[in-house]
Amino acid sequence: MVSSVVDVRSVWRTLDRRTVADIALVCAADALVGLSFGAITVSGGLPAWLPVALSVLVFAGGAQFAAVGAVLAGGGAASGVVAGLILNARLLPFGVAVADVLGSRWPARLLGAHLVVDESVAFTIRQDDPERRRAAFWLTGASLFVVWNLAVVGAALAGRVLRDTDAIGLDAAFPAVLLALVLPTLTGRSRRPAALGAILAVAATTVLPPGLPVLVSLLGLVLVPRRSRAAPS
């Protein structure tokens, strides 16, 4: 499906080997998280179609865990949906930021929108050249979609393969991956807004529901005066 809207061969030619290897590693880490998502859901007594449907149709790990967690905790489906939607609100500014890579053709725009996730955005904004931005976005988004869903299907069928990902430190792997991807893009211009935004976001977690504090970090961009960000990278 993806091969019909982007030229797969040109993706391979465009990206350097290290970027491709990094994308593969992120897919492997997310596969473990997908395995745990499927396992937690079915071993909690929920039907096997549920984790699979959520993974294909929602395709956002944090929101999927939040939705299933709310249901398993007895909170009801509505609270799970609301928690998931709040967590995914950041995908709106992310979609605006990477919209240029999706081009002007409708199939690519509509299909590509579904592949806007933290990792695909992080790999995209590391690249300056438009061709490489495009290639990084599609390769990350499409391979994550395939790997994530295969992992969830596998775990939903197999049952309890991997439940406690905290024991192997996977909860530290997610911020570590994003940190490694985003640090090189922190230029003189964005460093101070990002630092202030991170402090405000962490402070906001004490009062706001999960998902909203991340959006609070955008205040860093508003509050730091533009001229103090003018330093060239």
Considering only residues 118 through 147, tell me which ones interact with another protein, judged by CB under 8 A.
Answer: 118, 121-122, 125
Binding mask of the shown chain, residues 28 to 57, with x at each position contacting another protein by CB under 8 A? -x----------------x---x--xx--x
**Alpha-helical runs (H) found in the chain:** 2-5, 8-14, 17-43, 49-57, 61-72, 77-88, 91-98, 106-114, 118-125, 130-158, 170-182, 188-204, 212-216, 219-223
Residue 195 binds to another protein (criterion: CB under 8 A): yes
Binds another protein (CB under 8 A): choice among 31, 67, 151, 152: 67
Residue type, 119: E
Residue 51 beta carbon to another protein: minimum distance, rounded to whole angstroms: 10
Question: Which residue lies nearer to another protein by CB, 155 or 194?
Answer: 194
Residue 93 binds to another protein (criterion: CB under 8 A): yes
Residue 92 binds to another protein (criterion: CB under 8 A): yes
Q: How far apart are CA 226 and CA 181, in angstroms?
A: 24
Residue 15 binds to another protein (criterion: CB under 8 A): no
Residue 227 binds to another protein (criterion: CB under 8 A): no
Distances in Å between the Cα of 34 and the Cα atoms of 27, 150, 161, 200, 202 are 10, 8, 11, 30, 26
- Structural contact between residues 121 and 97, judged by C-beta atoms closer than 8 angstroms: yes
Distances in Å between the Cα of 150 and the Cα atoms of 33, 88, 126, 156 are 12, 22, 27, 10
> Segment near another protein (CB under 8 A), from 7-15, 147-155, 177-185?
177-185
Binds another protein (CB under 8 A): choice among 107, 159, 210, 225: 210
Residue 98 binds to another protein (criterion: CB under 8 A): yes
Residue 158 binds to another protein (criterion: CB under 8 A): no
Residue 230 binds to another protein (criterion: CB under 8 A): no
Residue 202 binds to another protein (criterion: CB under 8 A): yes
Residue with tokens 């869903």: 149
